[in-house]
Chains A and B, each alone.
Chain A
């Protein structure tokens, strides 16, 4: 799902980073957001809605709509569309409101 050839843009991907999604090992690149790295790996369902538990993906990519909130390193409600990926990050699908520990 990554673009390798583009008529206008060159994508200088940073260092390869390792993270986990629901315990599964994944790779992404430095300089990209958690949501972008997950998309590149084909993961589109990021959370479940509060009441009806419907699947949620990302919608706005500017940190405004709350559709992409996930649990990152144990913290819930992280807006993954504007959160940069870091080495060793633990990313999990969020069900409902999430608990602040």
Chain B
């Protein structure tokens, strides 16, 4: 069994930043990534990020992945990246079992572990929601922006949050017609700058609307939507049919952190963070000493906060292993300050409330 100092599970924005941060303190790191390419969901994000320069604002996500991977590569063998390697078990003695290339199955034991496993797109319950042609909005983003393949010809987008609205715009960039964007909420959840782009292109954004059913035999052929009242109940007689061959479901994400639950970390359902999350200290340490969490696995936020959490978790995990750099205090304050900035203002209300409920 291979034994090492620091294991990071996931190579998205949180995992890569954690690795860079820990390695710059002097730790030796192994990153496990279940996909054949690193970068997590940054690789499909062609829109420019908001925020400050420290989180690469005004860069596209796909370019941020390249920047982070180049920085990680500068540490040479201090950061090892293992691709096609899925962590499938996490046990009391800090043994993680790994399935590599769908063939080899082996154990890794680490003194400290950072779980940066990201999130999963939520689905919605409606008749025929399993028809081919109905996808998570992020999945369609991958298909278009990474592989250059169109999901179909005409799309109905369910959900007018940031992902729904950004992906709708990207669908149009790929030459696909967007029939409408709908959201059960009475107003658009996305940042106005993104929603306005769609509105200017003439795409109807239907608030207080929900999906009633999908129609099709082998694949999606049409979708029926209807209005909802203030308590989100469908209003009979308001049905509208859209002939579409693609439906994207963009109704939020759930944290992926089953590994931490399996390890026995204290977990709690926190709606403000979009699901069950591990309790953690301000330094991202879970209820188990030496086990950290960073990014969407600790609650759904944005890639910018995932990066700041990654840097913080990497710094603190390395310090726990004895790698305390001279500027430890200053770096810690810097990352905590970045997170405070990102969670400030009315937009951050929900996250701040969630952080209180998940605080150790």
Residues of chain A having any CB pair with chain B under 8 Å: 1-3, 5-9, 11, 13, 32-33, 36, 39-40, 44-46, 49, 54-65, 67, 75, 78, 81-82, 84
The size class of the interface chain B forms with chain A is 35 or more
> For residue B218, which residues in chain A have a CB less than 8 angstroms away from its CB?
44-45, 55
Contact A9 B35 (CB under 8 A): no
Give the chain B neighbours of A44 by CB distance below 8 A: 132-133, 218-219
Given contacts A9-B46, A39-B143, A45-B219, A60 and B121 within 8 Å (CB-CB): yes
> Can you pick out 17 interface pairs between chain A and chain B where the beta carbons lie within 8 Å of each other?
A1-B152, A2-B149, A6-B148, A6-B173, A36-B146, A39-B149, A40-B149, A45-B219, A55-B219, A58-B135, A59-B134, A60-B121, A60-B139, A61-B139, A62-B139, A62-B142, A63-B86
Q: Name the CB-closest residue of B to A4.
A: B148
B33-92 residues with Cβ-Cβ distance < 8 A to A are 34-36, 41, 46, 60, 86
The 6 closest A-B pairs by CB, nearest first: A57-B132, A11-B148, A61-B139, A36-B147, A44-B132, A61-B142
Cα-based distance from A9 to B118 in the complex (angstroms): 25
The secondary-structure label for the interface of chain A is loop
Provide the residues of chain A in CB contact with B256, threshold 8 Å. 64
Q: What's the Cα separation between A81 and B135 when bound, in Å?
A: 12
Q: Which of B41, B86, B121, B175 is in CB contact (< 8 Å) with A3? A: B175
Given A1-B149, A40-B149, A57-B131, A8:B139 Cβ within 8 A:
no
| Chain B residues with a Cβ under 8 A of chain A | 34-36, 41, 46, 60, 86, 102, 120-121, 123, 130-136, 138-140, 142-152, 173-175, 218-219, 256
Chain A: minimal CB distance from B97 (Å): 17
- Selected from A2, A40, A57, A82, the residue in CB contact (under 8 A) with B35 is A82
- Among B41, B143, B174, B218, residue most surrounded by chain A Cβ atoms (within 10 Å): B143
Q: Cβ of B139 and Cβ of A54 under 8 Å apart?
A: no
Q: Which residues of A contact B130 (CB under 8 A)?
A: 49, 54, 56, 67
Residue of A nearest to B176 (CB): A3
Question: Taking the nearest CB of chain A, how far is it from the CB of B226, in angstroms?
Answer: 24
Residue of A nearest to B34 (CB): A63
User: Which residues in B have their C-beta under 8 angstroms from that of A1?
Assistant: 149-150, 152
Query: Across the interface, which residues of A come within 8 angstroms of B132, CB to CB?
Result: 44-46, 55-58
Extra contacts, 18 of them, besides A8-B173, A58-B139 (Cβ < 8 A), are A3-B174, A7-B173, A40-B149, A45-B132, A49-B130, A54-B130, A55-B132, A55-B218, A57-B131, A58-B135, A59-B139, A60-B136, A60-B138, A61-B143, A62-B138, A64-B120, A65-B120, A82-B35
Name B145's contact: one of A5, A9, A46 (CB within 8 Å). Answer: A9
Contact indicator B131/A55 (Cβ below 8 Å): yes
* A45: chain B residues within 8 A (beta carbon): 132, 218-219
**For A3, A8, A13, A55, which residue has the most chain B Cβ atoms within 10 angstroms?**
A3
User: How far apart are the CA atoms of A56 and B41 in the complex, in Å?
Assistant: 23
Chain B nearest CB from A74 CB (Å) reads: 13
B148 touches A2 (CB 8 A): yes
Instruction: Give min CB distance, A34 to chain B, whole Å.
Output: 11
By a CB distance below 8 angstroms, the chain A residues around B34 are 63, 82
Cα distance, A49 to B131, chains bound together (Å): 11
Chain A neighbourhood of B219, CB < 8 A:
44-45, 55, 57
A10 to chain B: closest residue by CB: B148
User: Taking the nearest CB of chain A, how far is it from the CB of B169, in angstroms?
Assistant: 11
Nearest CB of chain B from residue A10's CB, rounded to whole Å:
9
Q: A35: nearest residue on chain B (CB-CB)? A: B143
Q: How far is the CB of B140 from chain A (nearest CB, A)?
A: 8
Chain B contacts for A75, CB-based, 8 A? 102
**In the complex, which residue of chain B has the Cβ closest to the Cβ of A72?**
B102
Flag if B134 contacts A57 (CB, 8 Å): yes
Alpha-carbon distance A44/B130, docked complex (angstroms): 12
- Our pick among B120, B123, B173, B174 for the contact of A62 (Cβ within 8 Å) is B120
The interface residues of chain A lying within 8 Å CB-to-CB of B138 are 60-62
Residues of A near B86 (CB, < 8 A) are 63
Residues of B within 8 A of A63 (CB): 34-35, 86
Q: Which of A1, A49, A59 is packed against the most chain B CB atoms within 10 Å?
A: A59
